[in-house]
Amino acid sequence: MRPNNTKGKLQRGEMVFGVSVGFDSPDTVELLGALGFDYVTFDLEHEIFDERAILHSIRAAENYDITPIMRVPNDPDLILRLLDAGAQGIHVPQINTVEQAQRVVNACRFHPQGNRTFYAVSRSGHYGIGYSEEEYAEISNRETLVILQVEELEGIENLSSILAVPHVDSYQFGPKDLWQSMGMPDRSKVWEVLDDGIARVVQSGHWASMYAWIDTNMDDQIAHYQQLGVKLVTISARDLVVLGAKAYLTPWHQAASRAQG
């Protein structure tokens, strides 16, 4: 049972940085770890993943000490299998009610924090070797990172009661689904709601989590998140490829144009 390095950094007050990956590539996971990212989030909400493939990506994450987090629907059976396989974090979107939030906690935590089905001989439990069942339950509850995503107006309206659900570590907001649930108003109105929500998360003692987008000024985005107290910042693997490709191609295209001119 491995320590959750991302959770450890957060407990020390540090910011952490991760990448959302929507494709099967253990080599990419290892590369992200070698580059110094803290965590990788596998998007099983929007993308198609084979569970056996996820297991190999978890092994790749362990090999490079990058925390494997699963973004999944609110499905206790799926959450159970991924945690047993070695996932160190569970990220569940579309949280609108206390009942939905509690369902996630129950699926992720053993007694007394939840009622996750007990199984201590999986790979996450070191195959039942070297630990008592009591030790496994205690360590798993301590090291698992639980992230809930609030991304609709109903969730914002219920945020105070959702934040009161115990044993949740972090909250993330989804600007695009929130924008849609608000009737697609001017984006500035959405960010007013988001900024208030992030402030409430921080004030409640939880870690706030947000995405970074390449279609905004990155310096301004970093300063804004730091000012709000955001601690987890995620960028998509797709955006990293776009950023890297533009940084590489732009000077070459400019040089080629000058040579031709």
**Would you name the residues annotated as active-site residues?**
46
Q: Do 16 and 9 meet the contact criterion of CB atoms below 8 Å apart?
A: yes
Phi, psi of 53 (to 5 degrees): -65, -40
185: preceding bond cis by omega (within 30 degrees): no
Distance, in Å, from the CA atom of 79 to the CA atom of 104, rounded to the nearest integer, reads 9
Pairing of β 67-71 and β 89-92? parallel
Distance, in Å, from the CA atom of 244 to the CA atom of 240, rounded to the nearest integer, reads 6
Distance, in Å, from the CA atom of 90 to the CA atom of 77, rounded to the nearest integer, reads 13
Phi, psi of 191 (to 5 degrees): -70, -25
Of 125, 198, 129, 205, residue with least CA distance to 165: 205
Give the list of residues 6+ apart from residue 164 with CB closer than 8 angstroms, or none: 98
